[in-house]
Amino acid sequence: MNPSLPPVDPLRLDVRNLSTFFDTDEGLIRSVADVSFSIRAGRTTALVGESGSGKSVTSLTLMRLLSRTASTQVSGQALFTDRAGSTVDLLDLKALPEPAMRRIRGNEIAMIFQEPMTSLNPVFTVGEQIAESVRLHLGLDRAAALAHARRMLELVEIPAAAQRLHEYPHQLSGGMRQRVMIALAMACNPTLLIADEPTTALDVTIQAQILELMRRLQRETGMSILFITHNLGVVAHHADEVAVMYAGRIVESAPVRCLFASPRHPYTQGLLACLPAQQRKRELAAGAMAGVDGKRRLYAIRGQVSSPLAPPPGCAFEPRCDQARPACRDAMPALLSAGPARAARCILVAENLFDATDSA
Amino acid sequence: MTRYLLSRLMGMLVVMALVAVIVFLLTRAASGDPITVLLGDQATAEDIVRVQKQYGLDKPLTVQFAYWLKELSQGNLGDSIFLQRPVTQALWERAEPTTLLALMAVLIAALIGVPCGIVSAVFRGRLIDQLLTGFAMLGASIPSFWFGLVLMQIFAVSLGWFPVSGYGDPGATLIERIHYLILPSVVLGVLNSALIIRFTRASMLDVLGEDYVRTARAKGLSESVVVLKHALRNALVPIVTVLGLTVALMIGGAVVTETVFGLPGVGNLVVSAVLRRDYPVIQGALLVIAMIYVVINFLTDLLYLLVDPRVKY
Amino acid sequence: MTFGFPLILKKMFRRRIVLAAAICLLVVVVMSLLANVITPYDPNDTAVSQRLSAPTASHVMGTDELGRDLFARIAFGGRYSLTIAVLTAIGSIVFGTLFGLTAGFFRRLDAPVMRVVDAMMSFPDILLAIALVAILGPSMLNVVLALVLVYTPRVARVVRASTLVVRELLFVEAARAVGVSTPRILWRHILPNLMSPILVQASFIFAYAILAEAALSFLGVGVPPEIPTWGTMVAGSQQYAHQALWIVLFPGLAIILTALSLQLLGDGVRDLLDPRLKKSM
């Protein structure tokens, strides 16, 4: 359960107990289980986790982009407040049938994906693909839509936009294509942008540019961003709130500064400890000299994520946790409040014990 | 792009050369004595000497091959023993029914196969997909002669909707000719649609799994627009390629259907040539048929170049 | 890379239709093998008084134009049709694998071998088969030889594609690095990994061969008409089709059933394919 937030900005998206299960031949896969988080208007919430933690499935579930087969079971609520101020549950198939959801997709809620190289249709020009969205949602005619598309390309700082409009995706570099994807997403002035690992496939220098671009657009338009990533460095600089996922569940959520300053969940602590920069800090704090003393190892969380088909009986992280107790194996801990506007799913939180390795 | 074109062209020429060698060797192996082949049993002594000189039959095999190539380059495929005319003429006379049949059959195969393949891909795993895939497999298991005989029995003999066999009178119009071709092209078309369904389904599934299809859905486009505009456009090129190659294969490959329905086509010609040991015809027909396939194969490669914008620039 | 045979069977037969196909095929094979046991009639026994009689209790599938029991002919004919098809499948697999492995493994031989394969595949299957039988003369063995020559290129192409994939796998490099000789690499490391695609192809070639032999025999350029294969049966009786459709219907159904079962089985085996090899097909 999400602890109640102080009334700062209105909630753009309020996800409550979202679950996505896949019924496969090999068994039931609980890809996303009991996930709750929220995004405030004009703010960025980051969803952090390693591959397989369920973060991409979460975003696809919200957009209802999962393949609609009988073996997919979705439950929970995703309350979305649109431009006009009315709230609707994205997962309610009766109140929000597919045609209505389609009016939201690409319009109120836009999504950009990880692979810019393959996310654009190779047989249509860049301009046509943006214009298509505009014509669909804003009802403009062909000429007006293309003009709008050109403005979008300029908005994302693509040089020679008028020319690029008539070019094909293969004529653009990876960074450019991602900008086009952003332009496509922004074309109808969305209130929520879901960015699923938008910079992972790009060069480091381009990454910074794209992230800056997104930040600027957020400032100018006031849209919210759901930022999905496994890169904590990015999270530190670009997110307001963070939710950490492990094995399909939220294990910790907090405002960004608090999370980095004092992580409560052992997994989060482990993730932060893995950052080389953090290690240097720890060593300096412990008084060791960098590079002189020889044996220095990069910290890694031991073990591996368990198979989704055979989850451990209690806490999912327990097999890899250095602070595990026998009680951890009994039952999955509940997500409990760990401070103002924060929560963590750990027995230590329940017992109000915080680990001594808190780094300042 | 020119480099790609040139390498494909080279490949085509090599294959064409190999085809010529294969046809030459096949016919030599079949006929044994080339003189009897060319002149039949009633050869006079002068004829024998003349032919020997003309075709260099006293020289080694490779030289004979060269002579044959020389003749080929002048468009001379030899003369048919039984039909008493040049092979080229015999083939040309037979070209119309076969070509028409091939085109009509592929049209039917495409009209059935492509939509079914699309439906099969879109509703993957559901009942309609299983039924269509089953139908496709069934189609690939039915012998064309059997299907032809059964359909002929039902529609031509019992119901009388179509002529039983033949291609019509010498002065028949195109429409009348087509009437004769409807039943055979339905036979070929339905059976070949099996292949088209499977191929279209595979091609569509490939494309539907691509990232840009997910992007299209994320834009809020309706599923039919996603499938028919975004996906199909990309899936179509390989499908059209297969259709082109199917036409090529049917020229000569439709021999069974031509036989069942008594159509004076190219395949039928080859069978009767085999039964009558008319080696020039066998040789010429095989050569032409294979060459057509090689050329169409090359042209479909070109099609890829033209249609895929990625390779244009 | 050998896993338990019973495990393979169990996985493959999870789809009921594949199981049904296997049973069907088994029935056809057994029926042919035990032909002299299951039917009281001799396939060559003519009984002109009973010619062209429709299916009845005594003649389950009717009789043909010479009064011969159709069911007996189909059962016995199955022996010939199936034998030809099996031999063809085995032959094309053996030679096709040989050429495909060579082309896929030895880079310098790849282009020449594949060009020859391309040239062979430029001829429509049936036409090439007709020409070959014309050269070799009509007999069962020659039909097999001709069909083997027709289908070998097809198998070679598939085997080559798989070889290209397997060749790049790490354990092959490792074996090379340790100094394993090339023939040994081919035999012990690469070939076992080609078993799945090869089995799939074998199944399909078997099916194609049944259809091809029938077509050749129907045209009169296959096995000599005295040999009762399913194809020659239809060829001999086709002019009576309007009087007695069953004469043509039942042999055709036998062909369809066998070919369909084989294709379903091939599909079933294909579902077992190693996923990394699946990508190349």
Q: Which of B201, B312, B196 is nearest to B245 (CA)?
A: B196
Of A178, A109, A134, A186, nearest in space to A155 by CA = A186
CB–CB contact A65 B218 (8 Å): yes
Closest residue to A106, CB basis, from B218, B310, B313: B218
- CB contact (8 A) between residue A123 and residue B234: yes
With CA atoms as reference, the chain C residue closest to B10 would be C115
C253 Cβ contact partners less than 8 Å away, ≥ 6 residues apart:
none
Residue C143 has pLDDT above 90, yes or no: yes
Give the neighbours of chain C: at least 3 Cβ pairs within 8 Å. B
Chain B touched by C219 (CB under 8 Å): yes
Q: Does B234 touch chain A (CB under 8 A)?
A: yes
How far is A267 from A256, CA to CA, in rounded Å? Answer: 16
Q: Which residues of C touch B18 (CB under 8 A)?
A: 115-116, 118-119
- Which residues pair with residue A226 across a beta bridge? A45, A194
Calpha distance B93→A174 (Å, rounded): 57
Interface probe, candidates B215, B233, B306, chain A, greatest A C-beta count within 10 A: B215
- Give the tens place of pLDDT for each residue, C154-193: 999 999 998 888 888 877 778 778 877 778 877 877 888 8
- Among residues A293, A283, A285, A316, the alpha carbon closest in space to that of A53 is found at A316
The residues, ordered by sequence, that sit 6+ positions from B169 with a Cβ below 8 Å of its Cβ are none
Nearest Cα to Cα of residue B290 among B81, B24, B108, B7: B24
- Give pLDDT, residue C260: 93
Check pLDDT > 80 for residue C149: yes
Q: Name which of B158, B160, B145, B139 is nearest C237 in CA terms.
A: B145
Contacts of B91 (CB under 8 A, 6+ apart): B77, B266, B269, B284, B285, B288
pLDDT in tens, B178-187: 888 999 999 9
- The whole-angstrom distance between A170's CA and the closest CA on chain B is 6
Mutation site for B-interface testing, chosen from A66, A68, A123 by largest number of B Cβ within 10 Å? A123
Query: Average pLDDT over chain B, rounded to whole?
Result: 84
> Do the Cβ atoms of A71 and A269 come closer than 8 Å?
no
Residue C115 to chain B, least CA–CA distance (Å): 6
CB contact under 8 A, C126 and B289: no
Of B101, B177, B178, B186, the closest CA to residue B152 belongs to B186
CA distance A106 to chain B (A): 4
Q: Is C200 exposed, middle or buried (0-12, 13-18, 19+ CB in 10 A)?
A: buried
**Side chain identity at residue A208, one-letter code:** A
CB contact under 8 A, C122 and B249: no
Mean pLDDT score, C94-120: 91
Nearest chain B residue to C261 by CA: give it: B141
Residue A104 touches partner B, C-beta closer than 8 Å = yes
Do C132 and B26 count as a contact with CB atoms less than 8 A apart?
yes
Q: What is the pLDDT of residues B264-292, one digit of tens each?
A: 988 888 888 888 877 788 888 889 899 99
Residue B313 has pLDDT above 50, yes or no: no
Enumerate helices (H) and strands (E) in chain C, giving the number of each.
Answer: 14, 0
Closest chain B C-alpha to C46 CA, distance in angstroms: 24
Contact A133 B222 (CB under 8 A): no
Closest CA to A131 of A122, A139, A123: A139
Q: pLDDT tens-digit profile of C44-96?
A: 777 777 777 777 777 777 777 777 888 888 888 888 999 999 999 999 999 99
**Residues of chain B numbered 12-51 and touching chain A (CB < 8 Å):** none
What pLDDT is attached to residue C106?
86
Residue A247 and residue A333: Cα distance in Å, rounded?
Answer: 13
pLDDT, tens digit, 9 for 90 and up, residues B64-95: 777 778 777 777 777 777 777 888 888 888 88
Provide the pLDDT for residue B4. 77
User: pLDDT digit string (tens) for C250-266?
Assistant: 889 999 999 999 998 88
Contact A133 B230 (CB under 8 A): no
Q: Is C135 on the interface with B (CB under 8 A)?
A: yes
**What are the chain C neighbours of B134 within 8 Å (beta carbons)?**
17
Q: Residue A161: which H helix or E strand, with range?
A: helix A161-164
C-beta atoms of A119 and B215 within 8 A: yes
Separation in Å, CA of A272 to nearest CA in chain B = 32
Q: A interface mutation test: which of B205, B219, B308 has the most A CBs within 10 A?
A: B219
Residue whose token pair is 């084989």: C262
Residue among A239, A252, A237, A236 at smallest CA distance from A342: A252
Q: How far apart are CA B36 and CA B43, in angstroms?
A: 8
Tell me, yes or no, if A277 comes closer than 8 A to chain B by beta carbon.
no
Between these two residues, B43 and A228, which has the higher pLDDT value?
Answer: A228
**CA C31 – CA C53 distance, rounded (Å):** 23
Dump pLDDT digits (tens) for C227-254.
888 888 888 887 777 777 788 888 899 9
Nearest CA in chain C to B27: C135
The continuous run of DSSP H or E covering A38 comes out as strand A27-40
Which residue among B212, B217, B219 places its CB closest to the CB of A132? Answer: B219
Q: Which residues of B touch A121 (CB under 8 A)?
A: 212, 215-216, 230, 233-234
Put simply, the answer to whether B138 touches C256 (Cβ < 8 Å) is: yes
The confidence score (pLDDT) of residue A354 equals 52
Check: complex ipTM more than 0.90: no
CA-CA distance, C3 to B58, in Å (whole number)?
61
Residues C75 and C32 sit within 8 Å (Cβ to Cβ): yes
For residue B237, what is the nearest residue in chain A, using CA coordinates?
A: A123
| Contact criterion met (CB < 8 Å) for B219 and A171 | no
The DSSP code for A124 is: S
pLDDT (tens digit, 0 to 9) for every residue of chain A, 360 residues total?
A: 456 655 567 889 999 999 999 887 778 888 899 899 999 999 999 999 888 888 899 999 999 998 766 688 899 999 999 888 888 998 888 889 999 999 999 899 999 998 888 899 988 999 999 999 999 999 899 999 999 999 999 999 999 989 999 999 988 988 899 999 999 999 999 999 999 998 888 888 888 888 999 999 999 999 999 999 988 888 888 899 999 999 889 999 999 998 888 888 888 888 888 777 766 666 666 655 444 555 566 677 877 777 777 778 888 888 888 888 888 888 888 888 888 888 888 888 777 655 444 443
Question: What pLDDT does B279 receive?
Answer: 79
Cα A145–Cα A149–Cα A152 angle in degrees, nearest 5: 140
Residues 6+ apart with CB under 8 A from A176: A158, A164
Residue pairs between chains B and C whose CB atoms are closer than 8 Å:
132
Distance CA A105, CA A111 (A): 8
Runs of H (alpha helix) within chain B: 2-31, 34-39, 45-55, 61-73, 87-122, 127-139, 144-151, 174-208, 211-218, 223-225, 232-253, 255-260, 266-276, 279-307, 309-312
B2–chain A nearest CA distance, Å: 19
Give the H or E element holding residue C108: helix C107-120
CB B199 within 8 A of CB B239: yes
The amino acid present at A199, given as its one-letter code, is T
- Residue A133 has its nearest CB partner, among B219, B222, B310, at B219
Contact A119 B217 (CB under 8 A): no
DSSP assignment letter at B79: B
B249, pLDDT greater than 90: no
Nearest CA in chain C to B142: C256
Are B211 and A170 an interchain contact pair (Cβ–Cβ within 8 Å)? no
First vs last Cα of chain C: how many Å apart?
20
Q: What single letter denotes the amino acid at residue A303?
A: G
Tokens 């085809």 sit at which residue?
B19
CA atoms within 13 A on the CB side of C198: 22
Letter string b/e over residues C54-72, b meaning 16 or more CB atoms within 10 A of that residue's CB = ebeeebebbbbbebbbbbb
Q: Which residues contact B142 (CB under 8 A, 6 or more apart)?
A: B191, C252, C256, C259
Residue by residue, DSSP assigns A165-227 as: TTS-GGGS-HHHHHHHHHHHHHTT--SEEEEESTTTTS-HHHHHHHHHHHHHHHHHH--EEEE
* Cross-chain CB nearest to A118 (options B211, B219, B233): B211
This prediction has a pTM of: 0.83
Cβ distance of A113 and B233 shorter than 8 Å: no
